[in-house]
Homo-oligomer: A and B are copies of this chain.
Amino acid sequence: MTFTPRRSRDVPTLVARARDGDPRAVARLISLVENGDPALPAVAAALAPYAGQAQVVGLTGSPGVGKSTTTNELVRALRKQGRRVGVLAVDPSSPFTGGAILGDRVRMQEHSTDPGVYIRSMSSRGHLGGLSATTPQAVRVLEGAGCDVVLVETVGVGQAEVEIASLADTTLVLLAPGMGDAIQAVKAGILEIADVFVVNKADRPGADATYRDIQGMLALGERAPGEWRPQVVRATAVRGEGVDDVVAAIAKHRDWLESSGELGRRQQERAAAEVEAIALGTLRARLGSLREGTALSALATRVADGEIDPYAAAEELLKRL
């Protein structure tokens, strides 16, 4: 049985059920987010009081670096500590969720019967604002459902890495030996976004070189007193080795975020980006409805006839918003 909130007054019920730990209610709320449901503002209003209660951990890296295995092991380690965990596997490159993420789901099946874990794949599906618009709302749902940690896993494909950093409290960048990742990390600007580097597949040849490369590059950067120095952790996630070190590095970063006041600053910036994305989406939709109507059509005719210029017409159009 699926709960369908036909009227917005059903939303508080749905949120209450999610808070009580009903996985179907959580799933339903994330679907509302994914589909850009008209009930979204009501959902957001009901979730507002629980903002900022989870540590949001972003996890990114090139394909093949072991992201889903690492995520799986992190979930296991965090569950051992008794913490509730949400996982969002985001594929910003594909209009449909498939490929790697279907694989992830299979690998994460061991957690599928654990009521303390929510796992969800999300695609950006050509949504207005894409990843930046929907993922924060999905994080809010998982926060509302009482998750202590929300892991957001995304394929490292250029822009996505920067986006994940902007929505996470703590960003993990996974590397693997022999992939030239150290140099690529510099090129892609990853050095700036990583709070914790995980050199995965540490049992493979070249792992020490990758570890030294990253440490060397971090040593070159200047840091103000009290500033966070990115941690570099070695792990072999497929055998569960080093995963506790990763968890410890995440906890250490959380402590620093709180003691330095950076946590509040990051949450504030994130909220600003979120509000801006929603506002822009609303404006786009309003312009779209003017396009359907006659206002834009009449103005366009005057532009085509050379009576007014397109800037003047745009001004006219905006006056009607």
Contact = CB atoms under 8 A, between A and B. Distances in A.
A266 to B, nearest CB: 9
Contacts of A45: 309, 311-312
B283 A296 contact: no
Given A275-B296, A279-B317, A280-B283, A268 B304 contact: yes
Interface string A304-316: 1111111111110
A300 B314 contact: no
Contacts of A192: none
Pick the 7 closest A-B CB pairs, nearest first.
A272-B300, A44-B309, A41-B311, A271-B303, A278-B314, A48-B309, A271-B300
5 contacts: A264-B304, A276-B287, A278-B313, A279-B287, A279-B314
Interface stretch (A49-57, A62-70, A182-190): A49-57
A274 interface: yes
Chain A binding site: helix, strand, loop or mixed by DSSP? helix
A93 interface: no
Contacts of A267: 304
A112 interface: no
Interface of A: 40-41, 44-45, 47-52, 136-137, 264, 267-272, 274-276, 278-280, 282-284, 287, 291, 296-297, 299-301, 303-315, 317-318, 321
A55 to B, nearest CB: 15
B41 A274 contact: no
Contacts of A276: 287, 291, 296, 314, 317
Given A51-B304, A275-B303, 10 more contacts: A40-B311, A41-B312, A44-B309, A48-B307, A48-B309, A52-B306, A274-B300, A275-B310, A276-B291, A280-B284
A188 to B, nearest CB: 16
A41 B315 CA distance: 10
Most B-side CB within 10 Å, residue of A41, A275, A311: A275
Nearest to A44: B309
A297 B306 CA distance: 42
Nearest to A272: B300
Contacts of A304: 51-52, 264, 267-268, 270-271
A260 to B, nearest CB: 16
B51 A318 contact: no
Contact of A279 (B48, B136, B318): B318
A68 to B, nearest CB: 29
A59 to B, nearest CB: 23
Nearest to A274: B310
A176 to B, nearest CB: 30
Contact of A50 (B269, B280, B306, B312): B306
